[in-house]
């Protein structure tokens, strides 16, 4: 099963992807994570992506479509893949359709996690991520057992660099202007599954699982 996971910044895409990987054996393909890894390694794509990410803007489509295509070409998807944070505008959605046709890949569902905007800011400011394994925590909603240390691997927890107030505001605006139109786009195609993301993490996951099983 191949799915697209959509939702505003802080909706819980990464959190739910982590569960889908663990419980359903899917592979996570997060464009945000791939760009952060590229930045760390100072690759061409990483250097170009950095200035956009630091401002909370979308990385140009041609760079983004290329890294997704490259990853999809590699295959090795276990029980399927989760596109986390891609596509993020109509042009990317159309590109994905072309890529899928070329590679003979089928997207089975588009899952949209819906959360009120006021809640997102609180979630993002409390988020902490493991430097070693990428697991996601939250100071308030999902604290690690020992502060600053990953429960799973003992790695160091850090805060992302695009989490200051101004950048978060820009990310939310970018979402409204460019990504939200995709809700109509996929609704019109009859492919959208809407999930209430304003519940406990496990309840969100159970809703996603139930809907996917249908």
Catalytic residue set: 13, 88, 127, 160, 171
Count the Cβ atoms, other than its own, within 10 Å of residue 104.
Answer: 6
Least distance (Å) between residue 20 CB and Zn ion: 18
Q: How far is CA 160 from CA 47, 89, 94, 125, in A?
A: 17, 23, 30, 9
Is 205:212 a contact under the CB 8 Å cutoff?
A: no
Is 183:176 a contact under the CB 8 Å cutoff?
A: no
Is 56:174 a contact under the CB 8 Å cutoff?
A: yes
Examine residue 149 and tell whether it contacts ligand AP5 (CB under 6 A).
no
Alpha carbon distance 117, 95 (integer Å): 28
Nearer to Mg ion (CB atom), residue 2 or residue 31:
31
Applying CB under 5 A, the residues found at the interface with Zn ion are 130, 132-133, 135, 150, 152-153, 155
Applying CB under 5 A, the residues found at the interface with Mg ion are 13-14
Give me Rg for the CA atoms of the chain: 16
- Closest CB to ligand AP5 belongs to which residue? 32
Examine residue 12 and tell whether it contacts ligand AP5 (CB under 6 A).
yes
Spell out the alpha helix ranges (H) of 41-164: 44-55, 61-74, 90-103, 117-125
Least distance (Å) between residue 136 CB and Zn ion: 10
56 binds, among ligand AP5, Mg ion, Zn ion, none (CB under 5 to 8 A by kind): ligand AP5
Residues that bind ligand AP5 (CB under 6 A): 7, 9-15, 31-32, 35, 52-53, 56-59, 64, 85-86, 88, 92, 123-124, 126-127, 136-138, 141-142, 171, 197, 199-201, 204
């Amino acid at each position: 099963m191949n799915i697209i996971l959509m939702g505003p910044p802080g909706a819980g895409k990464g959190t739910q992807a982590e569960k889908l990987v663990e419980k359903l054996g899917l592979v996570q393909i997060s464009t945000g994570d791939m760009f952060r890894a590229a930045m760390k390694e100072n690759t061409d794509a990483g250097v170009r992506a950095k200035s956009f990410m630091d401002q909370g803007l979308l990385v140009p489509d041609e760079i983004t479509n290329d890294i997704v295509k490259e990853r999809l070409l590699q295959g090795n998807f276990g029980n399927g893949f989760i596109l986390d944070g891609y596509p993020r505008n109509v042009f990317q959605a159309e590109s994905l359709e072309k890529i899928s046709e070329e590679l003979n890949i089928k997207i089975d569902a588009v899952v949209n996690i819906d959360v009120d905007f006021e809640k997102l800011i609180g979630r993002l400011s409390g988020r902490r991520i493991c430097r070693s394994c990428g697991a996601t925590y939250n100071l308030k909603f999902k604290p690690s057992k020992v502060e600053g240390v990953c429960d799973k691997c003992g790695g160091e927890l850090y805060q992302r660099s695009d989490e200051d107030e101004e950048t978060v505001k820009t990310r939310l605006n970018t979402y409204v202007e460019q990504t939200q139109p995709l809700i109509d786009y996929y609704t019109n195609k009859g492919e959208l599954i809407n999930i209430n993301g304003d519940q406990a993490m496990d309840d969100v996951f159970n809703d996603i699982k139930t809907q996917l099983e249908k």
